[in-house]
Amino acid sequence: MFLWIRRAYQAVFLLFFLFLIFATTSLYIRGYDVQWFLELDPLVALTTALSSHVLHHTLVWSLPLIVLTLVFGRFFCSWMCPMGVLHHVLGHLGRKRKVLERMKQNVPRPSHKIKYAILAVMLGLAAAGSVQIGLLDPIASTWRGLSVSLLPAASNTAYGLYQGERHFQWGTFITIVFFGALALNFVYPRFYCRVLCPLGAFLGLLSKFSLFRISKDLSRCNDCDVCGADCQGAADPQGTVRATECMVCLNCTKGCKRGGIAYRFLPALKLTKVETDLSRRKWITAGVAGVAAVPVMRASDGVDPRPNPARIRPPGALDEPDFLAKCLKCDACMKVCPTGGLQPALYEAGLEGFWSPILIPRIGYCEHSCTLCGQVCPTGAITHLKVADKVGDMPARPPVRIGSAFFDKGRCLPWGYGTECIVCEEVCPTSPKAIYFKLETITARDGKQKTLKFPYVDLDHCTGCGICETRCPVVDRAGVRVSAANESRSPKSSISLSGGKI
Amino acid sequence: MSEKEGSGLVPESRLRDSGKPAPGDDSRGELASSARHEPSREAERSEGKGRVGGGASGMGTLPGFPSEIDRRVLLRVGVTAAIATGAVALGLGLRARDGQSKKKTLPKIKDHRVDKVAGAVELAIVRGPDAAANVRRAVEAVGGMGRFVKRGERVVIKPNIGWNRLPEQAANTNPDVVAEVVRLVAAAGAGKIWVTDVSVNTAEQCFARSGIEKAAKAAGATVVRPDATAFREVDVSGKLLKTGDVLFPFVDADRVINVPVVKQHGLSGATMAMKNWYGVLGGQRVKLHQDIHLSIVDLAAMVKPTLTIMDATRILLANGPTGGSLADVKQMDTIAVSTDEVALDAFGAGLLGLSPADIGFIVEGMKAGLGTMQWRNLKTEELG
């Protein structure tokens, strides 16, 4: 009976998660808190608080989960986690037929302590100012795996009926990583959860203190070991149950006909094992490695010294070091971006910024009065701007700039070929328009005089939204292109002196 | 249970395994193994024959019946022949010298105009504080909606929903005007009413923030957003534009009503009625900027609307067609209605302080016979 209750919870939470992802479009989002699962994630709260020294207000949702875990153990993994449900189902497909073989699949292995080392590295990285938890966190991974690869593929196949035509650079790679993680269930069930998942590791640590635990009644146990046949966490229920590994799936209680194993309030301490297999020395080494990795990464790519012109961050993004201290790479901003221009970075933001959002204006521009990316950001890496603040009111209040447009006069039709065009001026959303034109007379090849409109950029008004680059009729590399220069999030990026900062 | 069955299978599978060539064996191994299998197959066959032949042995078959071997041969030859025939037929069917799939004939957009009525008002200009009332009075002045839309006809209404702007920014047609047109068309007994446009900004946001989607739906129209399934390729046969992808209502509808807004436009000077036809096109329409005036005339000649209801409730004087600042907007509280788009554009140009003779597409449109820029020569009724 308890198993059916658990399955019902799993189904409800998975469907709820899928609904929230589905609703993350400009058409359906309304006021839904679509990031509820990430806000619930205590590891997100912990790492971003470590790195940025503030707890983003929505992340207080993680506090009840911490309390619940301290009471009930690592139940999240097999009751709530959406990726956990997928692992559970696939693990069921990947499990062996015979009870004896299943018991062998679910024994504790030395590799199961790797997740604690991963957790230590992640915490070390966060302490040094770089949040990388989203690369392996199950909720961020599921967000990314579905929203940047699977859903766009489905939508494009269905003539873009769901969210229009969507393309994400190297989205296939994200698909391979996500479905690869799921496919590991065919090595043995819950491979990812047991070996890699840092959230599982963190909740496992909290479970050391849990009040309710699975424990054996030795007087009733006849050592048949059937309790271990479907143990999700490989928590060794046959032996001394490992509180850190137990996912409270309750499968062990079903197997036992004698009532020899049960979920109990405050069982005798000697009946459960609370130590992780990772030695203290390895914990410390992994944490130090994480801390040390940050200056190494920054010595390689740098955050400020030589920014990549393609590192165009979403409007409202914090200055780069603060941004990297908060961005999870969950890619929800990319999912909600109405033009599809927000893309997972590959090399543009350094190794540290891998899969973090950048705008690729050739794919899609930043909609002038849209602030949805900030609305869905679970950690505040992108500030939720008010439309009036984003648009600004020149000259009194400057707009939020994410970059600037520059003409490539060899590729621009009027400049390069003496052809009328100025689509860029037409679509420029600022008022007055940042792209303006002057009538100039040129002598054409045949010697005739020709007067046409030549476009120019006014940097003070350009927000770097990129619609000029998106709409430029010169296919592939546009005749007008946006780079991150003059973005307003960092005074170091400013070009013009008009801001008063150098 | 299954374990028992499984254990029953063990000897057989072992037998099979032993027949397999060991890794590294050469083809002789395979030969050897098949040879080893031969006797058992023979045994199977003789068993089968035993059943078919009703106990006959040795030669095995009844006279006149094909033996099982013959049947098998026939079947295999038949299957192979069928696959071969199919492959050849498919290949011949798909062959094309130029690498293109077969050409299809494209539909043309039909002429949506209604017959002229002698003595009828050709241009109505109404001024007043209530935009919807202005629409009603102006349409009444040119003969009422019943003159243009008959019971059961399918009608597409084309406002300008190009930009992610609020109504007061005057970058899109006023939603009250669109809603009133929908109501008039519905009252005339239309069988189907579409409201649609191909936005420049993100369509769902333009449709929402312009207020048009909500207003049109409330008035009873079907709002068609320009997603990928909404387009049909048509034959334009214009001077510049030969084919194009247009929103399906413009192919399917019996009547077309243009409901443009009056705005300044950097490249073409102004965007009003004729320029509004850019919004039926999908694809890379930005290329049309290279010869904007002729392409506007091509599009206007393609659509041939039934009626044009020009919204000059608020007009955009600068930074068009996007606008954004309320400082660029002028409240005019005017609606102008005519079947002559060129005349309306000439009238609208005046509102923007422009001379119609300076605007290329107005001059070219008149040359192409789409109407007259001498709007004052039309039978005009001005109410205010």
In the three-class reduction of DSSP (H, G, I as helix; E, B as strand; rest coil), residue A311 is classed as: coil
A336 vs B contacts (CB less than 8 Å): none
Show residues of chain B in contact with A27, CB under 8 Å.
204
Tell me the per-residue pLDDT of B2-22, one tens digit each, with 9 for 90 and over: 444 444 444 444 444 444 444
d(CA B166, CA B152): 34
Does residue B2 lie in a domain region?
no
Is B289 in Cβ contact with A473 (below 8 Å)?
yes
Both tokens of A80, joined, read 């709530």
CA pair distance B368, B302, nearest whole angstrom: 12
Mean pLDDT of chain B: 86
Q: Any chain B CB within 8 A of the CB of A472?
A: yes
| A420 in B contact zone (CB under 8 Å) | yes
Q: State the DSSP string of B159-224.
A: E---SS--GGGTSS--HHHHHHHHHHHHHTT-SEEEEE---SS-HHHHHHHTSHHHHHHHHTPEEE
Q: Are B296 and B186 found together in one domain?
A: yes
Domain ranges of chain A: 2-273
- Where are the strands (E) in B220-360, listed by range? 222-224, 231-235, 243-247, 255-259, 261-265, 269-271, 307-316, 329-338
Widest distance between CA atoms in chain A: 105
| Residue B33, pLDDT above cutoff 60 | no
Please name the residue that has the structure tokens 């003409």.
A407
Distance from the Cα of B295 to chain A's closest Cα (Å) equals 13
Residue B108 belongs to some domain of the structure: no
pLDDT of residue B8: 40
Instruction: Tell me whether residues B228 and A425 touch, CB distance under 8 A.
Output: no
Q: Where is average pLDDT lowest: A284-293, B5-14, B80-89, B149-158?
A: B5-14
Task: Tell me the three state secondary structure of residue B359.
Answer: coil
In whole angstroms, what is the distance from residue B323 CA to residue A429 CA? 7
Please indicate, yes or no, if residue B113 is contained in any of the structural domains. no
Which residues of chain B are within 8 Å of residue A426 when distances are taken between CB atoms?
265-267, 289, 321-322
The CATH number given to whatever domain includes residue B343 is: 3.40.50.11440
Q: Nearest C-alpha of chain B: how many angstroms from A164? A: 7
The DSSP element (H or E) to which A38 belongs, if any, is helix A36-40
What pLDDT does B230 receive?
Answer: 93
A471 in contact with B at a CB cutoff of 8 Å? yes
CB < 8 Å from A in window 158-187 of B? 163-165
Return the residue of B nearest to A454 by Cα: B267
> Are A430 and B324 within 8 A, CB to CB?
yes
Q: What is the pTM of this model?
A: 0.86
| B267 → closest Cβ in A426, A428, A471 | A426
Is B131 found in the same domain as B90? no
Closest partner residue to B200 (CB to CB) among A370, A421, A427 is A427
Contact B164 A26 (CB under 8 A): no
State which residues form the domain around B155. 123-383
Instruction: Note which residues in 284-343 of chain B have CB less than 8 A from chain A.
Output: 284, 286-287, 289-292, 318-319, 321-325, 327-328
CA-CA distance, B280 to B244, in Å (whole number)? 9
| B87 and B127 belong to one structural domain | no
Residues 165-194 of A with CB under 8 A from B: 165
Q: What was the pLDDT predicted at B103?
A: 67
Contacts of B267 in chain A (CB under 8 A): 420-422, 425-426, 453
Query: What's the pLDDT tens digit per position in B250-292?
Result: 999 999 999 999 999 999 999 999 999 999 999 889 999 999 9
Chain A's closest residue to B229, CA to CA, is A159
3-class SS string, A184-206: HHHCCCCHHHHHHCHHHHHHHHH
A331 CA: distance to closest CA in chain B (Å): 20
- Look up residue B165 and give its two tokens: 């702007």
Do B128 and B90 fall within a single domain? no
Among all residues of chain A, which has the CA nearest to that of B289?
A: A421
Query: A234 near A189, Cβ under 8 Å?
Result: no
Torsion angle of the four alpha carbons B144, B145, B150, B156, in this order, in degrees rounded to the nearest 10: 160
Q: Measuring CA to CA, which residue among A498, A422, A493, A424 is closest to residue A459?
A: A498
Give the total number of structural domains in chain B: 2
Number of Cβ atoms within 10 Å of the Cβ of A239: 14
Residue A373 CA to residue A336 CA, distance in Å, equals 6
In the Cβ-directed half-sphere of B374, how many Cα atoms lie within 13 Å? 5
pLDDT of residue B42: 47
| Chain A residues inside the 8 Å CB shell of B201 | 367-368, 429, 467
> Are B173 and B248 found together in one domain?
yes
| DSSP sequence for B335-351 | EEEES-HHHHHHHHHHH
ipTM of the complex: 0.88
| pLDDT at res. B64 | 62
Give pLDDT, residue B44: 47
With contact defined as beta carbons under 8 Å apart, do B178 and B135 qualify? no
Q: CB-based contact (8 Å) between B266 and chain A?
A: yes
Q: Are residues B278 and B358 in the same domain?
A: yes
User: In angstroms, what separates the C-alpha of B230 from chain A's closest C-alpha?
Assistant: 10
Task: Say yes or no for a CB contact (<8 Å) between A423 and B289.
Answer: yes
- pLDDT (tens place) for every residue of chain A, 502 residues total: 789 999 999 999 999 999 999 999 988 888 889 999 999 999 999 999 999 999 999 899 999 999 999 999 999 999 999 999 999 999 999 899 899 999 999 999 999 999 999 999 999 999 999 999 999 999 999 999 999 888 999 989 988 888 888 999 999 999 999 999 999 999 999 999 999 999 999 999 999 999 999 988 888 888 888 899 999 999 999 888 999 999 999 999 987 888 889 898 988 888 888 899 899 999 999 999 999 999 999 888 777 656 789 999 999 999 999 999 999 999 999 999 999 999 999 999 989 999 999 999 999 999 999 999 999 999 999 999 999 999 998 888 999 999 999 999 999 999 999 999 999 999 999 999 999 999 999 999 999 999 999 999 999 899 999 999 999 999 999 999 999 999 999 888 888 776 666 6
Residue B4 forms part of a structural domain? no
Flag if B228 and A26 touch (Cβ within 8 Å): no
pLDDT given for residue B61 in this prediction:
55
At residue B83, what is the residue type?
I
Residues of A in contact with B205 (CB under 8 A): 26, 338, 367, 369-370
Instruction: Report yes or no: A424 at the B interface, CB cutoff 8 Å.
Output: no
Taking phi over 0 as left and psi of -120 to 50 as alpha, with beta for the rest, A316 belongs to left
Residue at which a domain ends, from B78, B94, B110: B94
pLDDT of amino acid A501: 66
B266 with A425: Cβ contact below 8 A: yes
